[in-house]
Amino acid sequence: MATTFAHRMKEVRASDIRELLKITERPDVISMGGGLPAPELFPVDELVALTRDVLEQDGARALQYASTEGNADLRARIAALMQARQGIEITPAEILVTNGSQQGLDLTGKVFLDPGDVVLCESPTYVGAISALRVFEPRFVEVETDDEGMLPGDLERKLIAEARVKFIYVIPDFQNPSGRCWSLERRRRLLDLAARHGVVVVEDAPYAELRYSGEPVPSLKSMDAGGLVVYLGTFSKTFCPGLRIGWLAARREIHEKCVLVKQGADLHTSELSQRLIARFLARYDFAGRVEALRAVYRGRRDAMLRAIEREMPAGVRATRPEGGLFLWIELPPDVSARDVLPRALARNVAFVPGGSFYPNGGHENTLRLNFSNQTEERIGEGVGRLASALREVMAEAHGKAAADAPDVPLSRRAAS
Ligand SMILES: Cc1ncc(COP(=O)(O)O)c(C=O)c1O
C-alpha cells in the first residue's frame, strides 16, 4: 500500500552533505566536505569540570523542564557578548535560546512563510537554510551576488518585482559556502532597501567571530535602527556544535512568535547544555578561546590557499576568504564538480559540489572546500589529490592536450 505523505515532502531531498559525511567518517578519507570544526580544539577538559560543577551545584534544576525562552543567566551573557564583541544593543528579553542556529532557521520559516511566499537569498547560499525553509514551500529567488555581497540594483529590482517577499536571508560574514564577507557599503544598502520595502532581514552569523585577516565590519543587527533584523547566533563554531546551543535575537513582536512555535517544536533547549555554556562564559576566557581558534584556522586557511596555488590546474579560480571555514572554487564552465566527486572519493578525498548551494539549480562547475577539520599537512595532501582528480576530468572534457598545458599560478588568475 502506498503511503501518502504531505505535499511539502515532494520538495524535500537528501542533502549531498549528509550523504558525504557518512563516507568521510572513515579515517583514511581526507574530508574537505562537511563544515566540521576542529575536534582537537573542543574544550573537553573544561566540560568535564563544568559538568561536575553544574550537577553538584545546580542538581536537579539542570535536569528539569525549563523555560522555552532559555536559561536567564545564559540569555544575559549572550546579550552582553553581542554588545561587547559586536556592538549590538540588545536586551536579554530579545534573546531566544535555540537548538543550534539551525533551529533559528526553522522557527523563522514557521513564523513568516506561507506556501508561495518569496525568500530572497544570496547566490549561492547555505544549503542547510534551503533544507530548513523548503518545507514551508516558499519560492527562493536568488539575488546576484559578488565578493562584496548582494548587488543592490538586483536586490531592488527583485523587491519591486516580487509581491510576496517575506524576508531576505543573508550570511554576511564569511559565508557558507563562498567564504565572502559583505562590505559595509553593501550592508548599509541592504538595510536601506529592506527598510524602504518593509521586509525582514534574517542575518545568519555563525562565523562572525572567525576573522583571520582584514578589518572587522559591523553586523547588520548593530545597524538595525528599525528592528527589521532577525539575528541568528551560535556557539557551534566558537565552543562546540554537540551541545546544540544557538540563539535568535529579534524585536519583541517577532521574538514572541518564535517562542510560541519553539514551544510546539521542542518545549525548550537542553537546560544542561545551556548551564554548561553559561558557566563556561562565567569562568573561562571566551575571547582567549576565540583567539586560539583563529590562530589554528588561519594557518589551515593559508595552507589550503598555498596548496591550491601549487596544485590546481589552469582555469580554476578560488576565493581568498578572510575568515570562516570555507573556500569556494570555480571550475571551467564545462566541468561539473559532480563528475569530479567520484574520482576524488576514489582517491580518498571529499568535497561538496557547489550546485547544492543554489536553490534553483545550475552552477555545477563550482565546489566548496572546508579547511577547519584537517591538519595543514593533510590539507596539502588533500588538495593535491583533488587536483589530480580534477586533471583527469578536465583531460576528458578538454582533450589531453589542453590539460597538459603549463599552469598559471592561481594568484594571477583573478582569484577574488
Ligand atoms: C550559515 C549557517 N547557518 C547555520 C548553521 C547551523 O549551525 P548550528 O545549528 O550548529 O548552530 C550552519 C552550520 O554550518 C551554517 O553554516
Q: Left, alpha or beta for 244 (phi > 0: left; psi -120 to 50: alpha)?
A: left
- pLDDT for 212 equals 98
Q: Measured in angstroms, how far is the CA atom of residue 341 from the centroid of ligand 1?
A: 24
Q: Measured in angstroms, how far is the CA atom of residue 162 from the centroid of ligand 1?
A: 28
Give the whole-angstrom CA distance, residue 110 versus residue 261. 7
pLDDT tens digits, one per residue of 173-193: 999 999 999 999 999 999 999
Kindly state the DSSP code that residue 10 receives in the 8-state scheme: G
Q: Measured in angstroms, how far is the CA atom of residue 409 from the centroid of ligand 1?
A: 33
- pLDDT for 412 equals 39
Q: Which cell goes with 376?
A: 595543514
Q: Measured in angstroms, how far is the CA atom of residue 206 from the centroid of ligand 1?
A: 6
Give the whole-angstrom CA distance, residue 284 versus residue 192. 39
Give the whole-angstrom CA distance, residue 269 versus residue 252. 20
Contact 354, 282 (CB under 8 A): no
- pLDDT for 18 equals 67
- Averaged pLDDT for residues 400-404: 51
Q: Measured in angstroms, how far is the CA atom of residue 129 from the centroid of ligand 1?
A: 8
Ligand 1: which atom is nearest the Cα of residue 171? 1
> Does the CA dihedral 265-268-270-274 come out positive or negative?
positive
- pLDDT for 405 equals 53
CA distances from 44 to 212, 234, 340 (A): 24, 18, 37
Give the whole-angstrom CA distance, residue 15 versus residue 5. 19
Q: Measured in angstroms, how far is the CA atom of residue 101 from the centroid of ligand 1?
A: 6
Of 146, 141, 247, 263, give the one whose Cα is nearest residue 203: 247
Q: Please state whether beta strands 326-330 and 366-370 pair in parallel, antiparallel, or not at all (unpaired).
A: antiparallel
Site to probe by mutation for ligand 1, drawn from 232, 234, 248, 327 as the one with most ligand atoms within 8 Å of Cβ, is: 234
Q: How confident is the model at residue 19 (pLDDT cuts 50, 70, 90)?
A: low
Give the whole-angstrom CA distance, residue 279 versus residue 379. 35
- Averaged pLDDT for residues 303-326: 96
> Rounded to two decimals, what is the model's pTM?
0.94
Does 414 have pLDDT greater than 80?
no
Q: Measured in angstroms, how far is the CA atom of residue 149 from the centroid of ligand 1?
A: 19
Site to probe by mutation for ligand 1, drawn from 18, 20, 101, 173 as the one with most ligand atoms within 8 Å of Cβ, is: 101
Question: Under DSSP, is residue 45 helix (H, G, I), strand (E, B) or coil?
Answer: helix
Ligand 1: which atom is nearest the Cα of residue 35? 14
- pLDDT for 401 equals 46
Residues with CB under 6 Å of ligand 1 are 35, 100-102, 126, 128, 171, 176, 204, 206, 234, 236, 241, 246
Ligand 1: which atom is nearest the Cα of residue 235? 11
Q: Which cell goes with 220?
A: 547588520
Of 150, 125, 156, 161, give the one whose Cα is nearest residue 140: 125
- pLDDT for 8 equals 85
- pLDDT for 17 equals 66
Q: Which residues contact 14 (CB under 8 A, 6 or more apart)?
A: none
Site to probe by mutation for ligand 1, drawn from 176, 230, 327 as the one with most ligand atoms within 8 Å of Cβ, is: 176
pLDDT tens digits, one per residue of 358-392: 999 999 999 999 999 999 999 999 999 999 999 99
pLDDT tens digits, one per residue of 122-131: 999 999 999 9
- pLDDT for 409 equals 45
- pLDDT for 13 equals 73
Site to probe by mutation for ligand 1, drawn from 15, 102, 357 as the one with most ligand atoms within 8 Å of Cβ, is: 102
More confident residue, 370 or 15: 370
More confident residue, 414 or 99: 99
Contact 169, 199 (CB under 8 A): no
> Does the CA dihedral 291-69-127-154 come out positive or negative?
negative
Ligand 1: which atom is nearest the Cα of residue 126? 1
Contact 387, 407 (CB under 8 A): no
Q: How confident is the model at residue 415 (pLDDT cuts 50, 70, 90)?
A: very low
Of 62, 41, 92, 43, give the one whose Cα is nearest residue 284: 43
Q: Which cell goes with 374?
A: 584537517
**For the chain, the helix, strand and coil percentages under 3-state DSSP, each to the nearest 5:** 50, 15, 35
- Averaged pLDDT for residues 112-141: 97
Q: Which residues contact 212 (CB under 8 A, 6 or more apart)?
A: 294, 297, 298, 301, 322, 323
Contact 246, 234 (CB under 8 A): yes
More confident residue, 230 or 409: 230
Exposure of 147 by Cβ count < 10 A (0-12 exposed, 13-18 middle, 19+ buried)? middle
- pLDDT for 7 equals 86
Q: Measured in angstroms, how far is the CA atom of residue 102 from the centroid of ligand 1?
A: 6
Question: Under DSSP, is residue 310 helix (H, G, I), strand (E, B) or coil?
Answer: helix
pLDDT tens digits, one per residue of 50-77: 999 999 999 999 999 999 999 999 999 9
Q: How confident is the model at residue 133 (pLDDT cuts 50, 70, 90)?
A: very high
- pLDDT for 11 equals 76
Site to probe by mutation for ligand 1, drawn from 122, 126, 173, 373 as the one with most ligand atoms within 8 Å of Cβ, is: 126
Q: Measured in angstroms, how far is the CA atom of residue 236 from the centroid of ligand 1?
A: 8
Q: Measured in angstroms, how far is the CA atom of residue 398 from the centroid of ligand 1?
A: 37
Report the mean per-residue pLDDT for the chain: 93
